Amino acid sequence: IVKEGGTAANVIPEHTEMEFTLRAQDRKNVLILKEKLENCFKAAATATGCSVEIKDGGPLVDNLISSEPMSKVFEAFARAVG
């Protein structure tokens, strides 16, 4: 989400702010993706003569483990409540 992004497409704004969530199959790939994105942000700032501040938004979630039985229970419940 771009929370602040300026007022015109042809003007570099004084301040921009965005918030996003990274998702991947496991923690290792989230960390790889995080590093790549941070490098992109830093490169963009360097290329435009700007600065970038990256704030970590919170803890990482452990690996996603799918559960077929749990998925079926959830699906049945969702159907029951509409």
CA 21 to chain centre: 2
Please state the φ and ψ torsions of residue 58, each to the nearest 5 degrees: 155, -175
Tokens of 8: 């015109």
Ranges of each domain in the chain:
2-81
Question: What global pTM score does this model have?
Answer: 0.67
Radius of gyration of the CA atoms of the chain, in A: 19
Q: How confident is the model at residue 39 (pLDDT cuts 50, 70, 90)?
A: very high
| H/E run at residue 39 | helix 27-48
Residue range 67-77, pLDDT digits in tens: 999 999 999 99
The answer on pLDDT for 32 being more than 90 is yes
Residues 6+ apart with CB under 8 A from 29: none
| Token pair 């490169």 in the structure block, residue | 43
